[in-house]
Structure 1
């Protein structure tokens, strides 16, 4: 484990040495890399790299809402550290990061697994309301960063993280969640708020990249958690799978944090895209 400078930002990498191609695990908004451990355990002997974006695990939050381009630049620098091609696994909000990377650098990727990736269809153009919302989210992130300095409030933030994990998985609130302690750090909490504030803008930027860069046709699996959004979410994910010429796998017994609920499905998907390549 180490903090490194990638794409102009300080991030944290957790690396397991082993057989290539490397599997790069990218968590969604506020998802500490330790939550991927059940998947890593199912990939013995493999090179596995986990990324914690700025603000997590003691790295500084940069003090702004993250842009899609800088997320992709960080990912490009990460992939540049390892032997290519790699298998990318993008969860939730990191799904768009991985998709854009594949569209821009297809020669560096062997396959893609999207785990309950973020999708929004028919987004309207940004307007004055969106500028006001960006300012609100930035103020909120800075307020959280400064407000969580007292240790008692950090405990409250950790409890909030525990509630969110329990709400998005099959875990019970009282079950062990060691990775959630990281969310009590002021920079980590500010990062989570900032990433939420960047959500819509990043998906608008994704739409622009889709219009400019055709899908290269790499082996892709879209894993859809059916335990939260029901049929409408499954349909939205099917549109994503169609767009990426991917195979959709609907995981009925999983909620959003599939790496906790059904890690075997993710490990199986990694092997599937490798075999197809």
Structure 2
């Protein structure tokens, strides 16, 4: 466990294992330890890098609002700070799927493979108006809620509830001490609000990057979570994930009996996607 400074922001980083490099980036408001079930499956043959984005986990708050290009450069900056200059397999969960795809498009020589784990999909995103106003509102709301004691009172409980709702396989396995350390402060709340406020901006930026920067000729996998039901919402989500795979020329897989948090419900599916790539 260490901290590296990227773009002026101290970022929490954990590096384990040996071999070709694999970067794991978690979704909105998630932390490095949400990959704990995947890492032991990869570390015997991969150098596994986990990092918390600004305002997430143990990292410092963001200095500027997130962008697709900015998050791609952040991944590169983390690897540079660790002295890992060779191609890496980049794995992004949920909103971080935007970030790792942007990395592959903007850093093709540094990309060995791309894996989107139940990644966010926005087929026709358009950036809303007034980004500065939305950013200021998110920061103000975070400060007000923090001053009112909302994270201290509700942060860990909210985290536990959201994880349970996003899984098919049980509750939140994260240690109590780590959940309290991350979620009782306003840091993660403010980070999540900021990323959420700029979500469509990042999605629209990625759509523009797709027009200008082709993916490198590397393995790409879209791994979708599927709870096993045939309900309309579940099947629609699978269709959207499959369409994303077609758009990217990627291999499509469904992690059956898995919720959105595939790395908790079916860590082997994530490990197989990584180990099956040519990293």
Same-fold status (TM-score > 0.5): yes
- Alignment of structure 1 residues 52-71 onto 2, 5 Å: 52-62=52-62, 64-71=64-71
Query: Which residue of the partner structure matches residue 273 of structure 1?
Result: 277
Q: How many residues align?
A: 269
1:246 correspondence with 2:245 = no
1:92, 1:118 within 8 Å by CA — same for their partners in 2? yes
Conservation of the 8 A alpha-carbon contact between 2:17 and 2:42 = no
> What is the DSSP-based 3-state SS (H/G/I as helix, E as strand, rest coil) of the residue aligned with 1:218?
coil
Q: Give the secondary-structure state (helix, strand or coil) at the position aligned to 2:260.
A: coil
3-state SS of the aligned residue for 2:12? strand
Quote the residue 2:110 is aligned against: 108
User: 2:174 is matched with which residue?
Assistant: 177
Q: What corresponds to 2:164 in structure 1? A: 166
Deviation at 1:234, TM superposition (A): 0.9
Q: Is the 8 A contact 2:23 2:91 kept in 1?
A: yes
Q: Which residue of 1 aligns with 2:264?
A: 260
1:92–1:184: structure 2 CA closer, same or farther, 3 Å change rule?
same
The reply to whether residue 220 of structure 1 matches residue 235 of structure 2 is no
5+ residue gaps, structure 1: none
Change (3 A) 1:32 1:192: same
TM-score, normalising length from structure 2? Answer: 0.88
How far apart are the structure 2 equivalents of 1:220 and 1:118? 15
Cα distance in 2 for residues equivalent to 1:168 and 1:249: 19
TM-score when scaled to structure 1? 0.89
Q: Name the structure 1 match of 2:143.
A: 142
State the Cα distance separating 1:70 from its structure 2 match: 2.0
The alignment partner of 2:78 has SS state of helix
Q: Aligned to 2:155, which of 154, 157, 165?
A: 157
Note if contact 2:11-2:51 (Cα within 8 Å) is conserved in structure 1: yes
